[in-house]
Amino acid sequence: MTGKRRSVTLVSSILALALLATPALAGPEPLTTVEGISEYRLDNGLQVLLFPDSSKPTFTVNVTYFVGSRHEGRGEKGMAHLLEHMVFKGTPNHPDIWKALEDHGASFNGTTWVDRTNYYETLPSTVEGNLDWTLGMEADRMINSKISAEDLSTEFSVVRNEFEMGENNPTSVLWERMMATAYIWHNYGDSTIGSKSDIERVPVENLRRFYEKYYQPDNAMLVVAGDFDPAAALALIQKHFGPIPRPSRKLEDTYTVEPVQDGARHVELKRVGDVAAAGTVYHIPAGSHPDYAALDVLQQIMTDQPAGRLYKALVESGLASQVFGVAFGWREPGVAINIAQAQSGGDPRPVLDTMVATVEGLKQNPVTEDEVKRARRTLLKNIELAMKNSGRIGVQLSEWAAAGDWRLMFLHRDRIEQVTLADVRRVAAQYFTESNRTSGIFYPQQADQLLRAQIPAAPDVAAVLKDYQGREALAEGEQFEATTANIESRVTRLTLDNGMQLALLPKQTRGDAVSAVVALRFAAEQDLAGRVTAVGMVPDLLMRGTDKYSYQQIKDRLDELKATVSMGGGGGLGGVDNSMFVNVRTDRENLVPVLELVDHILRHATFPDKEFEIVKKEQLTQLENQLSEPQPRAFNFLLRTLNPYPEDNVRYLPTLEQAIERLKAVKVEDLRKFHKQFYGASHAQMTVIGDFDAGQVEQAVRKTLGAWKSPKPFVRIASKHQDGIQGRLEKILTPDKKMAMVAGGMNVRMRDDDPRYPAMHFANYVLGGSAKSRLLDRLRQKEGLSYGTGSFFSAGSQDERALFAGMAICAPENAAQAHDSLVDEFRRLVQQGIPAAELEDAKASYALQIKNQLANDAMVAGMLNNGLYLGRKMDWWQRLYDAIAALTPEQLKAALAGSVNLDGMVRVQAGDLPAETAGAAAGAEESDE
């Protein structure tokens, strides 16, 4: 039974009167501090972690409840996840939490996993009262959430829609089936999303009892990370959470122990799809067990790209298009899981056989010292990079706390550092055995009888961590006011000898972190004729090998430099963009060597034949996967219809089938020729933000990219507004897909410097661009039709061409209703505009969202880099924000009326649609003029 519950308001009133006769509640009790994170506990049992970091003007609040799918009983499958949704439905004091979070400028979410549920939000610390409000809201919904039958009647279908979204993906379903087969009794075998029948039928009284049992201070951990004053935060935590009484009920931990697996298990999945898959699952110890660190290293050795054993055996050999895997470190013994997708049309049987032989053949082909060192280096680099983001760590602490204790995060790092070759070989022999295997295949497959493997119990975490102290916390950065004016005052812009533009913004950051972005622009329209697909593949192959380094050597060097580098091609509404981008993340010490390595990669890529074939197969598999999927088919139709060009035009957007054929025709020599003929930095832009020496970086860039001239000039590929598009509805059938997609959009003649642009930009924010948007409020909150819905408005900076569109996912039987609601909201916006009260309310939340965006270094780097290309400084953005702040209902309505033609709205429904269209063939398109 649960203890008697009272509202925070009532408790606070009683306590206020009681202060006349009794002592005040005791303050938070300090417990321990590890690497800058301090732990406290309130009298009511609430665990509190404070992680101050003033390097960014934001803070993150994360509340973790130690309840997940592991705690669900009969008829409760998916209850923890469903409850996560319901807690966003509000309390008497906070009736609309989605809107309130948006009003306070929050980026927020909630997640459910096997051992825990958490809610987190990141807000601007520069807004007075934000921390006070956030803590008050979380304390309120800890015990006062409504959990009403009315809210459940709409939200259960939203959760069901999320369930159906996963059901559309055979690989995801294969994962679930293997887990359910690997576990006979333990709830880890149950999908967190739950059972469809339980989601649909759960009585609200049962859900409320579940909430009252687990959503209590003695079963929760509160983390505050980021820019805040610890003393003030503790006072606010005591103020809001302290009055909540400790419940009288006593929680008992789950006690089911999964028996030792006594033979191979196998599951077969037969569903509609285009690409076969195979996978394996092996039981492993809990995340707190010493063996888990060695297993984590071993999993990295198996699936790392390109050195991983499974990657080489499956992907490089041509058997599979991709492979991925993870070793889960849960509170109780978990699993290591691997899944591979076969080549298109390939037999998954050899994929599974090779996967099993590779994983279970480590005794005959043992792991090497070099592999262990490389895996350790990669894992430790990722941990170190994560530690430089306090908001990310604030949320990540949920996982380790759920595994037994938040300090396991640091202990696990320490254990990885100490993992030896002998440790890895031992755990491979102990756990990756035939008797411990569950296999799955998306096609028939038979498995052999196996031996057994013992799984050790979870250790006593308190004893393990009794004297643990950790190490010195990372240095904090400076307090930086993230405004357009302050950002602009710090920026230095230069034009180098080869014509390249450079923007530098030095500032002190947590852990000396630094980010950089480079945009290369090349060639002209005629140079891309017949080469669009090949040009798009070039960025994907650049890091696969140079005249000096192999793919593996490049990856090893980046790990040594504690850096991440990604390269990708640009893309426009027309499907082509003669540019590519490089994103870099590292630290002050390694920035210059990283920039030198990037320069070498960009100039001296060799496009190895083997790597070209791997990337080509990966991309073909991705395209073939999309053939029977509602979302890509819907968007491909929508964009093709709104952007009609002849097939020989570089702006032409091919069908999915045409894209596959074009990709098949590309040869590696096409990439090599284009790179040699057109790549250079004469028309490039580069931005660096973070902890670096500006003079040193400028000198390094001048010697590298700044000295690289383009062989031929860059000429922008212009696009035009497409007139005369007639509105229509298209129905695309994708059989056996449990989630449908509805979408609609229209062309708008506009650039982003048009006087109407601020109104259109903001109208989209109100319609579907925020967490309290009209589309989300109607289709999700009120009608319960869609798990995800929204809109977007994209206008060019140099051409009068814009797209205004919206979308929603839903169950196939709800597609017609979701479509009608989506279209109706567009009509209501254009015909009625936005009332003054709604407009002012949205302006306030938008302004707070901008504060968060300006505090994001990666986002600011993109703004500055784009500004270099367009000749804009940060005052351009400030003028946009000012124009939005000054908008009136009349201006908005006039801009919408003068810009949007509803008769030109192209609409699409895609999915396993109801009977009236069931006679059409799979993938067929049915038009309704």
**Tokens 């950051």, residue located:** 509
Q: Cβ neighbours of residue 755 under 8 Å, at least 6 residues apart?
A: none
Return the pLDDT at 8: 34
Return the pLDDT at 65: 96
Spacing of C-alpha 400 from chain mean position: 19
444: pLDDT strictly greater than 50:
no
- Span 278-334, pLDDT tens digits: 999 999 999 999 999 999 999 999 999 999 999 999 999 999 999 999 999 999 999
pLDDT higher at 919 or 289? 289
Mean pLDDT score across all residues of the chain: 89
429: pLDDT strictly greater than 60:
yes
Residues 747-752: what's their mean pLDDT? 96
Residues 825-853: what's their mean pLDDT? 95
User: By 3-state DSSP, what share of the chain in percent is helix, strand and coil, each rounded to 5?
Assistant: 45, 20, 35
Residues 19-28: what's their mean pLDDT? 53
Return the pLDDT at 917: 45
- Give the pLDDT band (50/70/90) at residue 513: very high
391: pLDDT strictly greater than 90:
no
Is 387 in contact with 474 (CB distance < 8 Å)?
yes
Dist CA 286 CA 793 (whole Å): 47
- Span 584-632, pLDDT tens digits: 999 999 999 999 999 999 999 999 999 999 999 999 999 998 999 999 9
Q: In what order do the strands lie in the sheet with 579-587?
A: 492-495, 501-506, 685-690, 513-521, 579-587, 564-569
**Tokens 């599979």, residue located:** 320
Spacing of C-alpha 28 from chain mean position: 34
Does residue 692 sit in helix, strand or coil? coil
Spacing of C-alpha 433 from chain mean position: 34
- Give the pLDDT band (50/70/90) at residue 478: confident
Amino acid occupying residue 757: Y
Residues 373-385: what's their mean pLDDT? 94
Return the pLDDT at 12: 35
919: pLDDT strictly greater than 60:
no
Does residue 281 sit in helix, strand or coil? strand
- The first and second tokens of residue 351, run together, are 């994929």
Return the pLDDT at 168: 61
Torsion of CA 162, 165, 167, 171, to 10 degrees: -120
- Span 779-804, pLDDT tens digits: 999 999 999 999 999 999 999 999 99
Is 244 in contact with 37 (CB distance < 8 Å)?
no
Return the pLDDT at 16: 36
Dist CA 770 CA 590 (whole Å): 38
DSSP code, position 218? G
18: pLDDT strictly greater than 90:
no
Q: What is the share, in percent, of the chain residues with pLDDT greater than 90?
A: 73
712: pLDDT strictly greater than 50:
yes
Residues 101-121: what's their mean pLDDT? 92
- Give the pLDDT band (50/70/90) at residue 921: very low
Containing H/E element for 533? Answer: helix 532-541
481: pLDDT strictly greater than 90:
no
- Span 332-349, pLDDT tens digits: 999 999 999 988 777 899
Dist CA 334 CA 745 (whole Å): 46
Q: In what order do the strands lie in the sheet with 277-284?
A: 265-268, 437-441, 277-284, 334-342, 320-327
928: pLDDT strictly greater than 60:
no
265: pLDDT strictly greater than 90:
yes
Tell whether omega for the bond before 306 is within 30 degrees of 0, i.e. cis.
yes
- Span 652-705, pLDDT tens digits: 999 999 999 999 999 999 999 999 999 999 999 999 999 999 999 999 999 999
402 closest CA partner among 455, 461, 356, 355: 461
What distances in angstroms separate CA 69 from CA 171, 191, 200, 286, 359, one per listed residue? 21, 7, 17, 16, 29
Dist CA 403 CA 395 (whole Å): 14
Strand 220-226 versus strand 47-52 pairing type: parallel
Dist CA 338 CA 872 (whole Å): 48
261: pLDDT strictly greater than 80:
yes
292 closest CA partner among 430, 402, 187: 430
- The first and second tokens of residue 86, run together, are 């319901």
Strand 277-284 versus strand 437-441 pairing type: antiparallel
Q: Look at phi and psi of residue 615 and say left if phi exceeds 0, alpha if psi is from -120 to 50, else beta.
A: alpha
23: pLDDT strictly greater than 50:
no
Dist CA 506 CA 856 (whole Å): 14
Is 330 in contact with 336 (CB distance < 8 Å)?
no
22: pLDDT strictly greater than 70:
no
755: pLDDT strictly greater than 50:
yes
Does residue 132 sit in helix, strand or coil? helix
Return the pLDDT at 19: 34
Residues 34-51: what's their mean pLDDT? 96
Return the pLDDT at 450: 37
Return the pLDDT at 160: 66
In sequence order, what DSSP letters do the residues of 766-810 get, joined into one string?
HHHSSTT-HHIIIIIIIS---SSEEEEEEEBSSSS-EEEEEEEEE
909: pLDDT strictly greater than 90:
yes
Q: Which of 312-316, 473-477, 602-606, 647-651 has the lowest mean pLDDT?
A: 473-477
26: pLDDT strictly greater than 90:
no
State residue 17 phi and psi, 5-degree precision. -70, -35
Is 279 in contact with 337 (CB distance < 8 Å)?
yes
Does residue 584 sit in helix, strand or coil? strand
Containing H/E element for 889? Answer: helix 889-899
- Span 796-833, pLDDT tens digits: 999 999 999 999 999 999 999 999 999 999 999 999 99
Dist CA 571 CA 578 (whole Å): 8
Return the pLDDT at 918: 39
Is 65 in contact with 220 (CB distance < 8 Å)?
yes
**Tokens 């309310």, residue located:** 841
Dist CA 560 CA 812 (whole Å): 50
DSSP code, position 24? P
